[in-house]
Every structure is written in C-alpha cells, then in structure tokens.
Chains A and B, each alone.
Chain A
Amino acid sequence: SQKIEQNSEALNIQEGKTATLTCNYTNYSPAYLQWYRQDPGRGPVFLLLIRENEKEKRKERLKVTFDTTLKQSLFHITASQPADSATYLCARSLTGTASKLTFGTGTRLQVTL
C-alpha cells in the first residue's frame, strides 16, 4: 500500500535558524507533493506544490525539494520566526489518480526566541 511519512512528530528550533522538515514516501513516485500549514483548530492552508519532474520550488522564505531516488521531499523555512510555529503537512497524489490526495500525519514546528 502507499504510505507517506513525516518522521518527526515535533521539531523545536531557535528563531533565525532554518527549519527542515522531512516527508518520505513508499512505492510509487508521487505525481505531486504538496505542503500545507495547519494552525490549531483551523483548516490546512496550502503553501507549495512540487511535481515529480521538478527538483526544487521556492516561495519567499520557503523551499521544497523532491528527490525521487531517496523517495523524499524536504521542506525548508529559512530565517524562521515564532509566527512560523504550526503543524506542517505533506500530501501526495499519484500519477493517474491525482485527485486522491494522501496526507502525512504532520510535523509540529515550534520556533522559540
């Protein structure tokens, strides 16, 4: 069966450092990998999407990489701020079933002063 795993349940870093979150998948290569931010009691908010033929995507302080050899996506937040504290979810869809989105369980990021 297809699995998507976010290995770290929680990550604590200091303000100003780069946060790196990991998303691993098994079996087939996803067609798309997406990253979302979720604050307590609220719906997820879309951040970035990367396609299987792309290596890297950037948006302001955010960067996503996609390594099909390692079956892994990394999500980076540079110059992290306390306001970046939230749970970050990765999600994948497979080629041919792009409307079926499977989410990881999320990594809770805490940025401290």
Chain B
Amino acid sequence: EAQVTQNPRYLITVTGKKLTVTCSQNMNHEYMSWYRQDPGLGLRQIYYSMNVEVTDKGDVPEGYKVSRKEKRNFPLILESPSPNQTSLYFCASSPSGTGGEQYFGPGTRLTVT
C-alpha cells in the first residue's frame, strides 16, 4: 500500500531532551516536507526537500533540523525541544516539487513539558 508513515504517533517529552520523528514514504517521491498544525494557525511548513541531500527552510524552521540522506526517509530533529514546539506534526511527500499534490502521513502529536 502506498503510504507515508510517521513514528512515533504520540510523544510526551521534557524541555531540552533531543528527539527525532521519523518519516518514510514508499512511493519513490522526490519531494518531502514537514508541517506543524496548531489551532487557529493552520498548517505551517517547517522544512522541505526537493531530493536527496537537498533541503530548504519553510515558514517556521527555527528550532528544527532535517536531513535527507535517502530518498524514502526525511526525519525531523528537535535538538532542544521547548514547550512552544508542542504541536501536531505532519510529514508529506509528492511526486513533484513543482506544486503538485501532497500525500500526508497520519501525524505525530508532540507534547513538550
């Protein structure tokens, strides 16, 4: 089944403890992206990647890192999480980086205390 998977689905952590949220897609898509979704603010893009080893900032990149060493994986790294990073995170992939439709994962709900 073609899909985007994220792990973990739920995570509660403490301020400052480094964490990684994994994202993997099995559709051989070139483009991948991370978003966070907050009430009243909608979905906001954190980082995106046009291809392996090519990443760029979205609208809210502060406090996050990403890497794209393989085409299928695009992990999101929070080096020192803070409470304002408590949010619902979505990974997405697309066959095209030129504005085409995106396929979203199921989401990761992160709470930082």
Contact = CB atoms under 8 A, between A and B. Distances in A.
Interface of A: 31-32, 34, 41-46, 49, 89, 91, 93, 98-106
B42 A43 contact: no
Contact of A49 (B42, B45, B101): B101
Contacts of A34: 99, 101-102
A43 B106 contact: yes
Contacts of A105: 40-42
Contacts of B99: 31-32, 34, 49, 93, 98-99, 101
A43 B101 CA distance: 13
Contacts of B90: 43-44
A100 B107 contact: no
Contact of B97 (A42, A98, A103): A98
B59 interface: yes
A99 B43 contact: no
Given A41-B107, A43-B105, A99-B48, A49 B40 contact: no
A101 B102 contact: yes
A103 B43 contact: yes
Contacts of B58: 100
Interface residues of B, number: 28
Nearest to A49: B101
Residue of A32, A93, A99 contacting most chain B CB atoms (<10 Å): A99
B31 interface: yes
A49 B4 CA distance: 20
Given A98-B97, A98-B99, A106 B106 contact: no
Contacts of A49: 99-101
Given A41-B107, A42-B106, A42-B107, A101 B33 contact: yes
Given A46-B101, A103-B44, 10 more contacts: A32-B100, A43-B106, A49-B99, A89-B43, A98-B98, A99-B56, A99-B97, A99-B98, A99-B99, A100-B58
Contact of A101 (B4, B45, B103, B107): B45
A32 B45 CA distance: 16
